[in-house]
A = this chain, B = another copy of it.
Amino acid sequence: MPTFDPPLKLMVVDDHFVFRAGLKTVLSLRNDFAVIAEADNAASAVERYARHQPDVTLMDLRLPDGTGIEATRQICTAHPDARILMLTTYDGDEDIHRALEAGAAGYLLKSVPGPELLRAIEAAARGERYIPPAVQQRLEERATFGELTDREREVLPLVVKGLTNRDIAGILNFTEFTAKAHVRSLLAKLGAADRTELVAIAVQRGLIHLD
């Protein structure tokens, strides 16, 4: 028996074999959904999107060859009508913000219950954004602090590495005073008392990914 609507074409991008299997199983509960493509890395995700033109894409944030955010940005640039749902374990506000800014149509945690996942996909297919309340709340807490400047984003990872102001100055080619100024600004913006707490906060918020 054919469905009224043509089946919704889905692509799944995740490097976890077992999770992909879970997604396919959950999605197969709906006979109007069809997983027409899969990818386990960013490069093939971009390539297969162009080839298969899925209606909605489920994308992991971390992939072996880069981030799902970069893949999302590339796909959305090339295909402005792309509907991409991020599906990840990372709940830091920075990751959420960057994903949406890259063009994602939604941001779900991998702990999402099946029915909510299906609802999010339907919403994305209709061209709507689906953001669960918990995720939305994370984003709003963020507003408290200002955006980081480009320089601050360069300095932050170096602080996390345990480098001193002098080391940082040497690497970025400015004086120790400048390094100090940027670190002071980072402390203020992220609400940290010292650089030790700065690391904890930056990791928690997804500004830095350790590994």
Contacts from A to B (Cβ < 8 Å): 15-26, 89, 110-114, 117, 159-162, 164, 192-200, 203-204, 210-211
Contacts and interface: CB of A to CB of B under 8 A. Distances in A.
A192 to B, nearest CB: 6
A163 to B, nearest CB: 8
B17 A112 contact: yes
Nearest to A199: B199
Cβ-closest 5 pairs across A and B: A162-B197, A22-B22, A21-B22, A18-B22, A199-B199
A64 to B, nearest CB: 9
Given A162-B198, A203-B210, 5 more contacts: A16-B110, A16-B111, A18-B19, A161-B197, A195-B196
B17 A113 contact: yes
Number of copies of this chain that the complex holds: 2
Given A19-B19, A21-B22, A161 B200 contact: yes
Contacts of A18: 19, 22-23, 26, 110, 112, 114, 117
A103 to B, nearest CB: 23
Contacts of A113: 17
B199 A200 contact: yes
Nearest to A108: B18
A159 B199 CA distance: 11
Contacts of A114: 17-18, 21
A210 B203 CA distance: 8
Nearest to A23: B18
A123 to B, nearest CB: 18
A160 B19 contact: no
Nearest to A111: B16
A162 B194 contact: yes
Nearest to A201: B162
A45 B205 CA distance: 30
Contact of A15 (B111, B194, B199): B111
Contact of A199 (B16, B112, B196): B196
Contacts of A17: 26, 111-114
